[in-house]
Structure 1
Amino acid sequence: MQVNSEQTSVAADAPPAGPGTAGPPPVGPSTAAGAAVVVGLSAGDAEKAAALRKMKTVALALLVGMAVVFTLAYAFQKEYPWLEYVRAAAEGGMVGALADWFAVTALFKYPMGLKIPHTAIIPRRKDQIGASLSDFVETNFLSEQVVQEKLASIDIARKAGTWLSGPGGAERVAKEGAVLIRGAFTVLNDDDVQAVIEGMVRKHLLTPPWGPPVGRMAERIFADGHHHKLVDLLVDRTADWVDANHAAVNRLVSDRSPLWVPSFVDDLVGDKVYLELAKFVHAVQQDQDHQVRRAIDTYLAELAKDLQHDPVMIERAEGIKAQILGDPEVRELASRTWGTIKNALLGAVEDPDSELTQRFKSAVRDFGSRLVNDDELAGKVNAWIGDAAGYLVTTYRSDIAGVISDTVARWDAEETSQKIELQVGKDLQYIRINGTVVGALAGLVIFTVAHLLFG
């Protein structure tokens, strides 16, 4: 990194020689000797650099002024004795200005190039400074108690609830959520997702035997009588069919009778069979305690038990499962499932007026209103945030604070000094100004006291 000598003369090896030469170290190369062009500064840093140059100029002007006053007062003090007081004040001002210039400069580099002990503190000890700053931040800021107390005072839950329930909050969340979903679908590989779905189907749907869980569920259904409506429906449909198909019953009877039986006999037998069949079906339909119904109940109850305990029935159920969901069917199911979910979500997030988007916005606004109005919910959310932040701080405080020491350690020593001077150099120039003023006053007081005491 090149540093223009004219720009850095104030904080370099010697006190500044005149106004206009002061300035912060550049953050870029110079184009020619004595005419540096500072590049790479942000707008804020450029303002700080200008303010630093101004304050250095003021401090330098005071030093030069004190030197001029001292010279004139010293030259004419014999003719005008009162100038001795002026000379003493100017002399003390110069001493104070030079001493504080030395103190300020010693922070950033060797004054006048002399490697005096305990100078160039920041370049020489930047790693120790970074480590100390890291320890300070870790101890005083990244403590669980400090973070939790700060979060509790903020009441994040209600602030978030006010924003979510207010105008634009839900829309912003929906918009950012849509971006997140689109980004996720862009990153995700369809084949990988389908493989995951297929694996989940096999693990949770195909690997466990179907018989016992189906049997337990059916047993509860049959025990509660929920199947009776289905039985009623089947009986009603059978009765309707019988009522509407007298001729079909007669035809079935005639088709199965011997050829030598006269047709009128077939008709008589067919009518008799139809009447008995209709009578039987209507009896089952009207009598809720009919023996057929009881037989159905008994059969279904036994079927439910067999599905749970009979190895043969369980094996049959497994065979049916294998026929329904073989490898091709599972892959097709996984592909259809992922495709449906993906298309539905992408379509919904692309359309701000879609039902899914509107429902999501409504849910966000409702949650925000609850955070504002429900003290218990807001307390739970604040407690959760505090616990989560406390856990993160307790677990990763050293890693977080370590960013400071690691970053400072990577900086070049000279660059570190320049960065810090740019940030605090303006305020440090007030030390030089104050030193000049205080030194002048001290010099005047000392000379006055000595003159009064010793004549």
Structure 2
Amino acid sequence: MIRTWNKADTALLTSFLLFLAALYLHLTDPSAVWTEGLLMVSEAALVGGVADWFAVTALFRKPLGFPYHTAILPRRRDSFIHAIVVMVQKEFFSRRKLFRHIEKIHLIPMLQDFLHKPETEAQLTGTVLHFFRASLLRKNNKKAVSYLSARLKNLLLREDPSELMSRFDMLAKANAWDQKALSRIALLLAREVSTEETRLSIRESLAELEREKIGDGFLSRLLAMTNTVNLDEGAELIQRHTCHVLNELGREHAPLQENAIALLHDCLTDLRQDGELLQVLRELQERLAKELPIDETLVRLFQGLRKHFQMDLKREVDPIAEHMPAFYTHLQTILHLEYQHMLFLVEERPELQKIITKVLYDLLARSALHAQTLVGVIVGNVLSRLTDEELNHLIYDKVEQDLLWIRVNGSLVGGCIGLLLFICMNLFS
């Protein structure tokens, strides 16, 4: 306790001085009734003040070194701290009071107002993007690789070869892939056919055909002498005609090209109904799903992404927005749409609101109960670390005025009792 002169000390000193004055007056004039009454009143006031001073001081220390049942708070500090902890837990943070206050909270309107704020949406979507970036920056992505690999293999095995060929046929028609592919192939073939090597090859083929049909007899030598069959001209003629056909095949909207494309699509239609071919394609699917290095490719992909992302983080830029702007914009759009869909469900589905309310109340109740225990532990630890003097200060500072008035009231009540006794003694004597 802080030792300062206060009104209780003033009242006690006043009672003592009054007692000395009354004692002097009574010794000077013992026969005077008023001096006897003043002495009795001052004596009772002094005894009451001293008794209350002793009682208040005995709570915190040993008054005048008196050892018996004094310094109550330091001696019973463990029991006192335990009582405070129990009081805080059971009275201020009791289960009943906590649940009663929690039940008064209207959670759904508060949740809706919170979710409608633009900054809330930005924080939540930003958190999702942060976790997405963090997943790409992790060194160990075995789970992601395993999941993506299984998904890719399932997609590969789930595809029906007939449907796949049908979709390829439709895409080829819609995007003019068939026309472009046929034009490029025809152009490539025309270049190869127009070379001298191709012409010589055609001539050798014609000569071989001539030997097979006519042989090396008289007719063959006669035709050679009369130049009836000129193999060079035939080879050149076949070469020019083949180049012309290939050029027509590669020219856009040419009748030959359109007929070839129609024939190609008819062939694809027939192939879609070929059971043996479909079985071969199914076996090819299974073999590709088993033997393709999907896991290794995904691991290298994640390693490359992590390397580039780490370099971008050093430059303090968003790696997804830097390297994949279209994907980043699309991902933000998806998150925004999903967030709006979530708001719609929260506002329009009463059964969902009941579930959310139950979950939130349960979380709040559990958190409050954990806080109850935590508050008790904190209060106990803080009070246990205080010295006896600090604990006395802590308690005394909170009730100082009340304790001072107890001491003042002791002098006042003592004086009143002394006056009452003096009056009664004189009346009954």
TM-score, structure 1 as length reference: 0.61
**Counterpart in 1 of 2:307?**
335
Query: Could you report, residue by residue, the CA deviation over 1:394-426 in whole angstroms, capped at 9, with x for unpaired residues?
Result: 457445413333333333333322332233333
2:50 corresponds to which letter in structure 1? L
1:57 corresponds to which letter in structure 2? N
Give the 5 Å matches for 1:261-280.
Answer: 261-272=234-245, 279=255
Tell me the distance in 2 between the aligned counterparts of 1:72 and 1:211: 110
Higher relative contact order (CA 8 A, sep 6+): 2
**Counterpart in 1 of 2:226?**
none
Distance apart, 1:137 and its partner CA? 2.3
Tell me the distance in 2 between the aligned counterparts of 1:152 and 1:266: 94
Q: By percentage of residues, which structure has more helix?
A: 2
1:323 to 1:129, Cα distance in 2 relative to 1, 3 A:
closer
Distance apart, 1:240 and its partner CA? 4.6
91, 100, 111: which one aligns with 1:149: 100
Distance apart, 1:389 and its partner CA? 3.4
**Counterpart in 2 of 1:60?**
9
Q: How many residues align?
A: 366
Distance apart, 1:221 and its partner CA? 11
The answer on 1:195 being equivalent to 2:127 is no
Distance apart, 1:429 and its partner CA? 1.4
- Structure 2 portions without partners, runs of 5+: 204-230, 322-328
The answer on 1:69 being equivalent to 2:10 is no
Query: Could you report, residue by residue, the CA deviation over 1:134-172 in whole angstroms, capped at 9, with x for unpaired residues?
Result: 222233344443223223435577678878989xx959x
Tell me the distance in 1 between the aligned counterparts of 2:179 and 2:165: 26
CA contact (8 A) 1:210 1:317 kept: no
1:165 to 1:438, Cα distance in 2 relative to 1, 3 A:
farther
The answer on 1:432 being equivalent to 2:407 is yes
Give aligned-pair identity as a percent.
19
CA contact (8 A) 1:284 1:292 kept: no
271, 276, 280: which one aligns with 1:295: 271
**Counterpart in 2 of 1:450?**
425
CA RMSD of aligned residues (A): 5.0
Query: Could you report, residue by residue, the CA deviation over 1:16-44 in whole angstroms, capped at 9, with x for unpaired residues?
Result: xxxxxxx34xxxxxxxxxxxxxxxxxxxx
Distance apart, 1:229 and its partner CA? 4.7
CA contact (8 A) 1:109 1:121 kept: yes
1:268 to 1:289, Cα distance in 2 relative to 1, 3 A:
closer
**Counterpart in 1 of 2:67?**
115
Tell me the distance in 2 between the aligned counterparts of 1:121 and 1:314: 82
**Counterpart in 2 of 1:99?**
51
CA contact (8 A) 2:19 2:42 kept: yes
Distance apart, 1:247 and its partner CA? 6.9
The answer on 1:130 being equivalent to 2:81 is yes
1:403 corresponds to which letter in structure 2? I
**Counterpart in 2 of 1:81?**
33
**Counterpart in 2 of 1:237?**
177
Distance apart, 1:115 and its partner CA? 0.1
Tell me the distance in 2 between the aligned counterparts of 1:375 and 1:265: 78
Query: Could you report, residue by residue, the CA deviation over 1:350-394 in whole angstroms, capped at 9, with x for unpaired residues?
Result: xxxxx9xx99xx99xx9xx99xx9997998776545422322444
1:283 to 1:202, Cα distance in 2 relative to 1, 3 A:
same
111, 132, 147: which one aligns with 1:204: 147
**Counterpart in 1 of 2:208?**
none
Tell me the distance in 2 between the aligned counterparts of 1:86 and 1:435: 17
CA contact (8 A) 2:37 2:422 kept: yes
1:75 to 1:398, Cα distance in 2 relative to 1, 3 A:
same
Tell me the distance in 2 between the aligned counterparts of 1:287 and 1:111: 118
